[in-house]
């Protein structure tokens, strides 16, 4: 059996191609059963997210035939000619397919290095495939290993630590200034998407009190209704700053909206309690000298992006350690898989020896006469001892071949020889001759 992975992601395909190949959750059960026909593909899983679409399959087909089969499935299922997407596809086989899955699950192949969401998405894809009945012994062995690798990467490296988006950096900085965000008040000036995202992150971190101030009162009221916040007019800006602990400014215009005198007056009213300002506007709309006031912490978009760059570089340095964990896990899985595959060969070999030994015993039994129970037991112990001694060297060699991954030609030849032996019929069974009487 061969493990094959075929897919596309944010690096190889634009969103207009990815969205055409994407699978909705509701259609996955039917799609999985269509993919896994039990003959050309025996096990299968589909991972479909906003950034990637991947098909993971176990197949007896050759690499080329398996790729053609999966491409045909994608084209027929999603009603897209292969020529419109196949240039965006990548594919991996066996060891490299396992490596890719482990890297994806650990967040090492994500748009944002180390992001944790993909772990849950792979887990959901596994659960959906298991529910559809398209997971067998190989994928049941593989997917838990992928989850274990991801957990090791997160606990043994810092690849998933340190904020790597402007909005999450803003939250991280706010936490350094204010230990507890639950009782803090956030003032949002403007209605930019990045500012709104920062507000979402802050509220997800426990912030409960939100004020929204906008040039257009109607827009402020719309956002306030969405967030359960309080809408304010621009005329109330100074008093709003006095009430706030965290100010996020994202408005257009060439002039400063938040001036030094606004903040100085607000700081007097708030008795110089710390004030955290984030100016995400370009050009800036918070007067830079505001940051010189005591207990005022001002960060603009360049400050935040510089922190993001430092954090990303730290994640990249940790990714090298994560890759070592992945490599170790790939080797361990390939050995486990080979042992899983060699198991039936060893079991069949043992059964074949027993068939021959006990078959010969039955052919000669009439010459033995009546045996006592003790003699029967002794005879069976004798046969088992002979079988064990004959089997041990061959079984040890098969285990060695599995552990080494059939790297040596003699191991491959040895395994093929035993497969031929097991497939062959015992010539003595078809012979009509009677055994000679023992002398």
Positions annotated as catalytic residues are 50
Specify whether the CB–CB gap between 238 and 259 falls below 8 A.
Answer: no
39: phi > 0 → left, psi -120 to 50 → alpha, else beta; which? Answer: alpha
Place of tokens 């398209």: 134
The alpha carbon of 411 is separated from its chain's Cα centroid by a whole number of angstroms, namely: 34
Identify the CA nearest to 5 among candidates 84, 105, 78: 105
Distances in Å between the Cα of 292 and the Cα atoms of 124, 265, 277 are 50, 14, 12
| Overall size of the chain counted in residues | 439
- HEC profile for 175-235? HHHCCCCCCCEEEEEECCHHHHHHHHHHHHCCCCEEEEECCCHHHHHHHHHHHCCEEECHH
If residue 268 lies in a helix (H) or strand (E), which one and from where to where?
Answer: helix 260-269
Specify whether the CB–CB gap between 175 and 205 falls below 8 A.
Answer: yes
Q: What strands, in cross-sheet order, belong to the sheet with 43-48?
A: 43-48, 52-59, 2-9, 90-93
Q: What is the CA radius of gyration of the chain?
A: 34
- 3-state helix vs strand vs coil in the chain, percent to 5: 60, 15, 25
Whole-angstrom distance, CA of residue 215 vs CA of residue 237: 11
Residues in contact with 269: Cβ distance below 8 Å, sequence separation at least 6, in sequence order:
239, 242
């Amino acid at each position: 059996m061969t493990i094959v992975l075929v897919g596309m992601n944010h690096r190889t395909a634009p969103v207009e191609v990815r969205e055409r190949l994407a699978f909705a959750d509701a259609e996955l059960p039917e799609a999985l059963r269509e993919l896994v026909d039990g003959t050309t593909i025996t096990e299968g899983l589909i991972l479909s997210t906003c950034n990637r679409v991947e098909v993971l399959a176990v197949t007896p087909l050759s690499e080329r035939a398996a790729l053609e089969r999966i491409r045909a499935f994608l084209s027929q299922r999603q009603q897209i000619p292969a020529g419109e997407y196949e240039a965006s596809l990548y594919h991996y086989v066996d060891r490299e397919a396992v490596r890719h899955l482990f890297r994806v699950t650990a967040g090492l192949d994500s748009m944002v290095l180390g992001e944790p969401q993909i772990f849950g998405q792979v887990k959901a894809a596994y659960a959906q495939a298991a529910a559809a009945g398209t997971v067998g012994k190989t994928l049941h062995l593989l997917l838990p290993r992928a989850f274990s690798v991801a957990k090791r990467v997160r606990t043994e490296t810092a690849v998933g630590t340190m904020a790597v988006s402007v909005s999450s950096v803003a939250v991280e900085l706010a936490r350094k200034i204010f230990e507890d965000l639950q009782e803090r008040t956030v003032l949002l000036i403007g209605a930019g998407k990045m500012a709104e995202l920062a507000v979402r992150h802050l509220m997800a971190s426990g912030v409960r009190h939100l004020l929204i101030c906008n040039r257009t009162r109607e827009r402020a009221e719309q956002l306030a209704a969405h967030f359960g916040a309080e809408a304010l007019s621009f005329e109330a800006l100074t008093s709003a700053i006095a009430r706030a602990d965290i100010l996020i400014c994202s408005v257009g215009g060439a002039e400063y909206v938040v001036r030094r005198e606004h903040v100085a007056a607000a700081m007097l009213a708030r008795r110089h309690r710390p004030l955290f300002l984030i100016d995400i506007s370009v050009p800036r709309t918070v007067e830079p000298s505001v940051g010189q006031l005591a207990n005022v912490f001002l960060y603009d978009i360049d400050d935040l992006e510089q922190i993001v760059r430092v954090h990303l570089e730290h994640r990249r340095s940790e990714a090298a350690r994560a890759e070592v964990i992945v490599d170790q896990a790939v080797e361990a899985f390939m050995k486990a898989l080979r042992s899983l595959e060699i198991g039936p060969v060893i079991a069949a070999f043992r059964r074949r020896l027993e068939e021959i030994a006990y078959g010969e015993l039955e052919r000669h039994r009439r010459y033995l006469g009546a045996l006592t129970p003790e003699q029967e037991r002794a005879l069976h112990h004798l046969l088992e001892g002979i079988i064990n001694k004959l089997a041990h060297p061959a079984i040890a060699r098969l285990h060695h071949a599995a552990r080494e991954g059939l790297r040596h030609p003699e191991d491959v030849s040895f395994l093929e020889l035993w497969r031929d032996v097991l497939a062959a019929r015992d010539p003595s069974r078809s012979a009509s001759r009677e055994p000679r009487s023992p002398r």
